[in-house]
Amino acid sequence: MKSYRKELWFDIKKRRELINITPDVLVCLKESGIREGLCLVNAMHISASVFINDDESGLHHDIEVWLEKLAPEKPYEQYAHNGYEDNADAHLKRTIMGREVVVAITDGRLDFGPWEQIFYGEFDGKRSKRVLVKIIGE
Amino acid sequence: MKSYRKELWFDIKKRRELINITPDVLVCLKESGIREGLCLVNAMHISASVFINDDESGLHHDIEVWLEKLAPEKPYEQYAHNGYEDNADAHLKRTIMGREVVVAITDGRLDFGPWEQIFYGEFDGKRSKRVLVKIIGE
Amino acid sequence: MKSYRKELWFDIKKRRELINITPDVLVCLKESGIREGLCLVNAMHISASVFINDDESGLHHDIEVWLEKLAPEKPYEQYAHNGYEDNADAHLKRTIMGREVVVAITDGRLDFGPWEQIFYGEFDGKRSKRVLVKIIGE
């Protein structure tokens, strides 16, 4: 069994943003030399997400509006977590979007359906944060 | 390390439906010959879900009502994604329900608790769509 | 390839509670002797969750309030599932929080970011329930 590990670093200038990281994961897969196995991609921070969806700007706008409805940023005082911080909403938004994805590796490629793309979802940005890529297989 | 891959195809006649696919995954597991490892089951489409819950029709009704409350299908114009499409709600519903499950394989069986069953959740049906089963182990 | 399996048992005295199980998973990892691989931790019950977030009591209070808003326990009659049971809300709460996490194992440790901790989320307690830890690797 082979294993491969890499950290991807992001420094998002806004509080919230969705970034397509599929090209970064493909570079990892190539570096790994693994042709059959599983690829875990997870946010290493608890106010960020890794998820799979469509790379369509209208949908990304809809996700932003929807998350703000389900877990609004303000007023900050509505959250007990916001004593020293203001990011409780980011923890909840990431909970809805998910921490991680596991992707099948088949014949040296990400085994995806037609529109699947991997995104990093930043919900409390303006600082450096990391995504972990771990691939195991042969 | 062994690896196994299969696509399961579904052509749901309604827009939304939940289908128990545990028997299909069990067939895959048997075909794989793998006795210890991990089994990934994921929707290959971004408006569908694979999740684990109870096979109880009342609960499935509750899930339908609940998802319509959290991410309503209509009015279609509420979503920026719905320029050429009408399925933005399906992308959001699938986000709540999840893309994938990872199941432990122990002694040649799905290592499940008493009521765990795997479901395909279709949220934008009336066409052929796929689920990927990937099993790695020994 | 090595594989390791253990069940963790919990008997929560309240209906809902979040418990940090990271120390239990670390014991499993040490017992497994696995230094590179993947660790699956999943609830074996469909009214409970395993998830990763911050071990901060304010946030846990926020999660409780938020889940009660998104999927309220009462009135029980609002859910079709609650014919013989009263736990439909627990199935929905667990859906939001997730069934499982997959954690990378690197150099014999849980490959975590700075604040990641693994929690068992009980949403229908007052009875014995289980979490499965499955580790594969080398």
Residues in chain C: 138
The pLDDT of residue C117 is 98
User: In Å, how far is A114's CA from the nearest CA of chain C?
Assistant: 25
User: In Å, how far is A45's CA from the nearest CA of chain B?
Assistant: 19
Q: What is the DSSP string of B30-87?
A: HHHT--EEEEEEEESSTTEEEEEE---HHHHHHHHHHHHHHS----GGG-TTTTT-S-
How many Cα atoms within 13 Å fall on the side-chain side of residue C90? 22
In percent, the amount of chain B with pLDDT more than 90 equals 99
- Please tell me whether the interface predicted TM-score (ipTM) of this complex is above 0.90: yes
Which candidate, A59, A57, A53, places its Cα nearest to that of A113? A53
| B99 class by beta-carbon count within 10 Å (0-12 exposed, 13-18 middle, 19+ buried) | buried
**In contact, A76 and A82? CB cutoff 8 Å:** yes
What residues does C27 pair with on adjacent strands?
A: none
Which tokens is A13 given?
């200038």
Flag whether residue C123 sits within 8 Å of chain A, measured between CB atoms. no
Q: What is the dihedral of CA B46, B51, B55, B60, to 10 degrees?
A: -50
Residue B19: pLDDT band (50, 70, 90) is very high
Q: Which residues, at least 6 apart from B79, have a Cβ–Cβ distance to it below 8 Å?
A: A58, A59, A62, B88, B89
The pLDDT of residue B62 is 98
| pTM across the whole model | 0.98
User: In Å, how far is C86's CA from the nearest CA of chain A?
Assistant: 24
The pLDDT of residue B83 is 92
The pLDDT of residue A83 is 92
The pLDDT of residue A44 is 98
Flag whether residue A20 sits within 8 Å of chain C, measured between CB atoms. no
Flag whether residue C91 sits within 8 Å of chain B, measured between CB atoms. yes
The per-residue pLDDT for range B38-73, each reduced to its tens digit, is: 999 999 999 999 999 999 999 999 999 999 999 999
The C-alpha atoms of residue A102 and residue A42 are separated, in whole angstroms, by 9
Question: Angle at Cα B20 formed by Cα B129 and Cα C104, nearest 5°?
Answer: 80
Q: Do B37 and C99 touch (CB under 8 A)?
A: no
Which tokens is B19 given?
């289908």
Query: What is the full per-residue pLDDT of chain C (138 aa) written as tens digits?
Result: 999 999 999 999 999 999 999 999 999 999 999 999 999 999 999 999 999 999 999 999 999 999 999 999 999 999 999 998 999 999 999 999 999 999 999 999 999 999 999 999 999 999 999 999 999 999
For A115, phi and psi rounded to 5 degrees?
A: -120, 5
The three-state secondary structure class of B134 is strand
Residue B112: pLDDT band (50, 70, 90) is very high
For A65, phi and psi rounded to 5 degrees?
A: -65, -40
The two beta strands, A2-11 and A128-137, are antiparallel
Mean pLDDT of B9-31: 98
**In contact, C135 and C105? CB cutoff 8 Å:** yes
Residue of A nearest to B92 (CA): A63
Flag whether residue A37 sits within 8 Å of chain B, measured between CB atoms. yes
The C-alpha atoms of residue A127 and residue A44 are separated, in whole angstroms, by 13
Residues of B in contact with C96 (CB under 8 A): 96
Which residues of chain A are under the pLDDT cut of 70?
none
Q: Do A106 and B134 touch (CB under 8 A)?
A: yes
- Supply the angle between the helices B88-97 and B57-70 in degrees, to the nearest 10: 120
The pLDDT of residue A103 is 98
The per-residue pLDDT for range B70-87, each reduced to its tens digit, is: 999 999 999 999 998 999
H-run or E-run covering B105: strand B100-106
How far is Cα of residue C51 from the mean position of the Cα atoms in its chain? 5
User: In Å, how far is B62's CA from the nearest CA of chain C?
Assistant: 6
Which tokens is A87 given?
């990011």
Contacting chains of B (3 CB pairs or more, <8 Å) are: A, C
Residue of B nearest to C99 (CA): B52
The pLDDT of residue B103 is 98
Contacting chains of A (3 CB pairs or more, <8 Å) are: B, C
For C26, phi and psi rounded to 5 degrees?
A: -65, -40
